[in-house]
Structure 1
Amino acid sequence: MLVAAGAAFFFSGQPEAVANTGPRPPEAIYDRTCGYCHGHNVGPVIRGRNLPPEAIVYMVRHGQGAMPAFRPTEISDVELANLAKWISTSKANPKEHGK
């Protein structure tokens, strides 16, 4: 019974950041979450634009228009800081296209 309860929690759709495995790499977060829209003609391309990390953090936490806000349970403050720095300093990916 305990195994079933543990499996139910594990597969309950809880955000990955809840797991106690440490921060996820920014590339993995981008590929799995951000890149779904940014770079695939849904949202604007954000890599290679030298966006200020503070602006990225604000947009992720507050959202705007079609961009949803992401809670700390979805992306931790540490992960978000790492992601914002990575996006800010990343080069454009020629395979990405946006609005």
Structure 2
Amino acid sequence: MLAAAQCFAAEGNPDLGKQVYEKWCSACHAPGDAYPGTLALRAKYKGALPEALEQRSDLTPDMVKYFVRNGVTIMPFFRKTEISDVELNAIADYLTKQGTKQ
């Protein structure tokens, strides 16, 4: 029953993905030279793709969920006790819609 209530709360709050992203992700993935995740993606893609996650248009929900749960190189994985499945779905939805707004 709690999961259903959380899903309803997430659907009723379209800003949840942005809020969770800002809490857990932006410290490493915001635009600029001070963010290790952004710098790592800059080095990896060498300008072929945007380095800041919020500017990407190639992300899929499954890709976002995979990297959040499994981590990659210096990025840690995040447990369900840190980012719930509902919050993860909200982040994935937020990031996959951001790049299409450009």
RMSD of aligned Cα (Å): 2.3
Higher relative contact order (CA 8 A, sep 6+): 1
Query: What TM-score comes out, normalization by structure 1 length?
Result: 0.64
User: Runs of 5+ in structure 1 lacking a partner?
Assistant: 1-19, 93-99
Aligned to 2:89: 81
Query: What TM-score comes out, normalization by structure 2 length?
Result: 0.62
* Bigger fraction of residues in helix: 2
Aligned to 2:41: none
Moved over 4 A (4+): 20-24
The structure number with the bigger radius of gyration is 1
User: Runs of 5+ in structure 2 lacking a partner?
Assistant: 39-51
Correspondence for 2:36 among 39, 42, 56: 42
Deviations for 1:24-65, whole angstroms, at most 9, x for unmatched residues? 811111111100000143112111212111000000000011
- Count of residues in correspondence between the two structures: 73
SS in 1 for 2:27: coil
Identity %: 34
